Structure 1
């Protein structure tokens, strides 16, 4: 399975960089930073796909915002029946997606990962007021 992270600005490269600090080099992942140069999205997508060793492997595309221009353009460019697209990507979600066995990345598992990613978002000050400070968090 291959993965493309496509976001506004250098967020995609930043997510990939952070992931590689934690998991090591990711041969199956490409980052597409949009609006940092004049190259159109379709060219960046095609180049990323051509860089994969296994060009026929299933593809998962991860974007930053559902209503954002990157996600909207992607949905027009790709065959949604052949590609899985997840939006609202964050580092915990990406780490989980990349460490799960590819055979397990079905719709149910992807929805579970999305739910887990949402749980990672919190207002820490409020959390600490309600948390037992003796617990590890």
Structure 2
């Protein structure tokens, strides 16, 4: 079973979850808004890892590399069997949501991380590179 947990500062995790569910339909995602009055990441991470089943593929996404949430999760990364990706974007989250669990391995995760980096574009430059008065579709590749 694939389990995806989004852990971020404030409400980013919930917004990302709602957006993916809007685009991809109802899917299994857990959103954790850390460092609020209700949630400190230490307790949540410990409980999550204690309850993780051996057959479960756990992927945790955090918002900022070096940020406090990422630091808390990273402390457990080498001792426990889960994947940690930081600096996620919607393209990455959507791909993880729809991919079959059997596809998930370190090489595949490296590949989709690289692909998601390509989704970050200064559109002003991309639009200037188009011929004048030409219809365009950025989804054609």
TM-score by length of 2: 0.84
Q: Find the structure with the greater CA-based Rg.
A: 2
2:17 aligned with 1:19: no
Contact 2:33 2:39 in 1 (8 A): no
Question: Displacement, 1:75?
Answer: 1.4
The answer to whether the Cα contact below 8 Å between 2:9 and 2:69 also exists between their aligned partners in 1 is yes
Give 1:35 shift. 2.1
Q: Please say if 1:8 is aligned against 2:9.
A: yes
After TM superposition, give the deviation of residue 78 of structure 1 in Å.
Answer: 4.9
Q: Which runs of 5+ in 2 are unaligned?
A: none
Where in structure 1 do 4 or more consecutive aligned residues deviate above 4 Å? 46-50, 78-81
Please report the TM-score for the alignment, with normalisation by the length of structure 1.
Answer: 0.86
Measured in 1, the distance between the counterparts of 2:99 and 2:3 equals 13
Question: Which is worse superposed, 32-41 or 117-126?
Answer: 32-41
RMSD, matched Cα: 2.1
Unpaired stretches in structure 1, ≥5 consecutive residues: none
Residue aligning to 1:98 = 97
